[in-house]
Structure 1
Amino acid sequence: MIAAGLLLVAVGGVDLVRRLVPGRRIVAFVIAAAVLVALSAGADAIVAGLLAVAVAAIWTWVVPESGPARAGLWPVGLLGVAAAACVVVAPARPSPGLVGAVWVAYGPREGLSVDVLFLVAGCLLFLLESGNAVVRIALRAEMGERVAPSTGDAPGTLRGGRLIGPLERILVFALTLAGAYTLLAAVLAAKGIVRFPEISRDGEGGDRAEYFLIGSLVSWVTALAAAFLVWWGVGGV
């Protein structure tokens, strides 16, 4: 499970660095990679940490910040399969390495493995900016040039997705794990109600409705998949 967590932390972290650090990214990438490798070494998972850094480096090439992805949705699918395989093959350990020992001694919740903590942190990081990349890839795959290449927005419509999307995915992720399905349904319905006036002004092409449906569904599925991954991992502890 620690491998899945490190994998998602690395990919989510590199996308967040690309978003928040406009200059000197190489230095930021190196520092982030060094911190991740140090944490993985402290958790007796140095090999998994090095592989996660390598996967994150490949991710930055196949999933650029703007424009179409070089391999479509394949990198996203392969990343999901790899994370799920890591959870199945290597379940959570009771106290992995120095980091695990410190967590067991001083952690706020007894019985919660540090491996699970890494997995949850990885999912949250991935849902922030990498989730936007997944949605952008899906939109460009289905809508082509009707989507702005740099932002993934439909031209002149439905702005704000780069901020709303991460908040929405975190809410879906948290409410799903908490089992608050009624509140989850209310949140999803509220988004449709808020966007309805803008979608109702759609022309004959239906671009706004298509953009909203594709973006929302892909965003929700990504968050639900992350929640299922954590649920699956915790269930195997």
Structure 2
Amino acid sequence: MIVAGFLLLAVGAADLVRQFASRRWIGYLVVAVILLLLGSVSDALLPMLAGLVVGALWVWCMPSERPAPLGFWPAVLLGVLSIGAVVWLGARTDAGLIGSVWTLRSPFGDVPFDLALLTLGVGLFLLESANLVVRAALDGEHTWRPAELRRLVPDAAETSPAVGEPRDAVVSGEAPDESAPAESAAAETTQAETAAAGIPASDPRAGFKGGRLIGPLERILVMILTLAAAYPILAAMLAAKGIVRFPEISRDGETGARAEYFLVGSLVSWVIGLGAAFLVWWAAHS
């Protein structure tokens, strides 16, 4: 269990550093120090070192500025390693130095340190790392086709990024699992649209990136509702997403790109949320 916790914690923290830190090397150093402290006080130096190695490999295999060279297979391998660590290694009887002072109570009983670390790692992974996984899955299924995009949005050719410009310059409106290709390209015309709507360019609404917030929130809700056995609420939430997107998908035309984009992105995102719930549930009952 502790191995899976450190793996997911390192990967999730590294992706948050890549997304939000202005100086990444400082962020990576802080993450490494925190993991070193956690590994020292919990008598888990080897799992901590494994987490650092896997985190470094993840940053190389799953870049945020360009398509992943290995597709989403690094995510599959990470999932297999995490599930194997939880299912086969199980829980430890001794949590080291922190085990003697650790106390965390919940409505369901005491929460061991290893379980708390795993839950934290799962939560961090669902934030930004899962967005990269969904994007890699969409790239692997070729749902992002510039030719189709130009047919859907005539101005798409003029909104393509310049050489060396990050991909998010085009996919800036929403994360891949929460938008259609036409929306992603149309995000580049945000300034003109907001000006026509009377919204100043300095207004925060002019650059609102809803997809980067909707995706993580959706996955966290899927995990929480699954763990709480609130299946009717979970089904209603997933159905509501389809209803909200239906008018947009119904205008898909002959290409089918929007429906394909929505289905692949949503299904991958839900599988990640359900997999996270399974990890925490199994760890809590092992």
TM range (shorter): over 0.9
Q: Does 1:108 align with 2:105?
A: yes
1:137-194 deviations in whole A, cap 9, x for unaligned? 0111112542784334543326733221101000000000011001000110111111
Q: Offset of 1:94 from its aligned partner?
A: 4.7
1:111-138 deviations in whole A, cap 9, x for unaligned? 3211111111111110110110110001
Larger Rg: 2
Structure number with higher relative contact order (C-alpha < 8 Å, ≥ 6 residues apart) = 1
Could you tell me the TM-score, scaled by structure 2's length? 0.77
Matched residue count: 233
* Structure 2 CA distance for aligned equivalents of residues 139 and 43 of structure 1: 38
Q: Structure 1 regions of 5+ residues with no counterpart?
A: none
* Structure 2 CA distance for aligned equivalents of residues 44 and 89 of structure 1: 19
Q: Offset of 1:85 from its aligned partner?
A: 1.4
Contact kept in structure 2, 1:93 and 1:113, CA below 8 Å: no
- SS of equivalent residue, structure 2 residue 8: helix
Identify which of 182, 187, 196 aligns with 2:246: 196
Q: Does 1:43 align with 2:93?
A: no
The equivalent of 1:10 in structure 2 is 10
* Structure 2 CA distance for aligned equivalents of residues 54 and 205 of structure 1: 42
Distance change (3 Å), C-alpha of 1:195 and 1:154: closer
Identity of aligned residues (%): 53
Q: Does 1:156 align with 2:182?
A: yes
Q: Offset of 1:14 from its aligned partner?
A: 0.5
Q: Offset of 1:2 from its aligned partner?
A: 0.7
Contact kept in structure 1, 2:36 and 2:48, CA below 8 Å: yes
Q: Offset of 1:95 from its aligned partner?
A: 4.8
- SS of equivalent residue, structure 1 residue 229: helix
* Structure 2 CA distance for aligned equivalents of residues 235 and 126 of structure 1: 21
The equivalent of 1:221 in structure 2 is 271
- SS of equivalent residue, structure 1 residue 157: helix
* Structure 1 CA distance for aligned equivalents of residues 228 and 236 of structure 2: 15
The equivalent of 2:163 in structure 1 is none
* Structure 1 CA distance for aligned equivalents of residues 212 and 260 of structure 2: 17
Q: Offset of 1:67 from its aligned partner?
A: 2.3
Q: Structure 2 regions of 5+ residues with no counterpart?
A: 147-159, 161-166, 188-209
- SS of equivalent residue, structure 2 residue 234: helix
Q: Offset of 1:42 from its aligned partner?
A: 0.7
- More moved, 122-131 vs 156-165: 156-165
Q: Offset of 1:231 from its aligned partner?
A: 1.2
Instruction: Tell me the amino acid that sits aligned with residue 285 of structure 2.
Output: G
Instruction: Tell me the amino acid that sits aligned with residue 34 of structure 2.
Output: V
Distance change (3 Å), C-alpha of 1:165 and 1:10: same
Q: Does 1:233 align with 2:230?
A: no
Could you tell me the TM-score, scaled by structure 1's length? 0.92
1:29-68 aligned at under 5 Å gives the runs 29-68=28-67
